Amino acid sequence: MTTTTDSMLSCSVDGAVATLVINRPPANALTPDLLTELSRAFGHCAEDDAVKAVVLTGTGRFFIAGADIRLLASIASAQEGEAIAQQGQAILNRIEALEKPVIAAINGVCLGGGLELAMCCHIRLAAEGSRLGQPEINLGIMPGFGGTQRLPRIVGQSKARELILTGDPISAQEAKSLGLVSHVLPPEDLLRHAQGMARNMASKGLAALRASLRAIRGGHELTLQEGLALEARLFGGLCETEDKREGVAAFLEKRQPHFVDR
């Protein structure tokens, strides 16, 4: 296992799984500096062929409690606010576009920019007792890092409007019932479960992981027929890979496949 630490973010790599831990006491508030560190860390994960899956979590009782209120108070113009929103959106878009599975292990409070960060991850797990929401309306503003766009796509228009317009948080169990998170786990089991899921995914061929994520993400922006055409094209490309030949041979020979990511 290798471990690196920036001032607000630590990264450990165990096998093919990278675990990123946000550590910005007291509440892991989201700031431009933290966003920059996240962007840098995910960039390294994208470039490192040995890393095939990523787990993102926080420390203590907080995933991310929201934006730094002092930063919000300092915004003095529409142009400055728009620029900050665009910076945050661009970084979260790059995380969402990573062609390796990203699992958010939501270990506690996950509000505002924290939920927006979690929603750009491909899979979300939550610890029992976690609270999730978009409370920006209570500050006289609105979500600016993608919350108004990703939340309706995940939970539907009506519930997204309710959560954004009231600012009320929901429990981990309600988040699961809405499809916002996949699993709710005891806090002591959360990270182990997330890393186990990541190891399972990392045991697959990287070409198939990338193509699957590309099809799911790309299909969101296409008509059904266009999405089916994209799926067929990506499926066809995989049929020429060494991993496809190995996977089929292993199944027929009743053994575990040994993928080489080609």
CB 125 within 8 A of CB 104: yes
Q: Which among 80, 128, 136, 188 is annotated as catalytic?
A: 136
Between β-strands 53-58 and 102-106, what pairing exists: parallel, antiparallel or unpaired? parallel
Look up 116 and say whether it is catalytic. yes
Q: Which among 82, 96, 116, 226 is annotated as catalytic?
A: 116
Look up 231 and say whether it is catalytic. no
What is the full DSSP assignment across 146-206? SHHHHHHHHH-HHHHHHHHHH---EEHHHHHHHTS-SEEE-HHHHHHHHHHHHHHHHTS-H
Pick the closest to residue 130 from 146, 151, 147, 115 (CA basis): 115
What lies within 8 Å, CB to CB, of 95 at 6+ separation is 38, 39, 42, 102, 117, 120, 121
Catalytic positions, please? 116, 136
